[in-house]
């Protein structure tokens, strides 16, 4: 009997550490789940947008440094011409 109680205490302690109660509570409450998922989705979308803007901005900046090089400058001017035509 003591061994069983010790084992149950160990399982209870493990579940408390893993915050299973909070997970079950969130699962049973749809409003909390919706708010949590909405917040997570907004954060991911905002992060993706800002990250993409940063990478494209840096790429544009680094490409502008190579405009004066003969071969690369011609290529970039061709790209700018294509962009202007599509507008």
Predicted local confidence at residue 57, as pLDDT? 94
- What is the three-class DSSP state of 1? coil
Predicted local confidence at residue 43, as pLDDT? 97
In a domain? residue 82: yes
In a domain? residue 6: no
In a domain? residue 2: no
Predicted local confidence at residue 17, as pLDDT? 74
Predicted local confidence at residue 23, as pLDDT? 75
Predicted local confidence at residue 1, as pLDDT? 78
pTM for this predicted structure: 0.52
In a domain? residue 7: no
In a domain? residue 15: no
The total of structural domains in the chain comes to 1
Alpha helix ranges (H) inside the chain: 2-17, 20-28, 30-65, 70-86
Mean pLDDT for each 10-residue chunk of the chain (87 residues)? 85 78 77 90 97 94 78 81 86
In a domain? residue 5: no
Full residue range of the structural domain in which residue 71 is found: 21-86
């Amino acid at each position: 009997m003591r061994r069983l109680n010790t084992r149950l205490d160990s399982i209870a302690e493990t579940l408390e550490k893993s915050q299973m109660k909070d997970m079950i509570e969130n699962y049973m409450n749809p409003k909390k789940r919706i708010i949590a998922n909405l917040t997570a989705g907004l954060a991911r979308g905002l992060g993706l947008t800002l990250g993409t803007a940063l990478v494209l901005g840096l790429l544009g900046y680094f490409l502008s440094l190579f405009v004066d090089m003969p071969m690369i400058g011609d290529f970039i001017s061709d790209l700018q011409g294509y962009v202007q035509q599509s507008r």
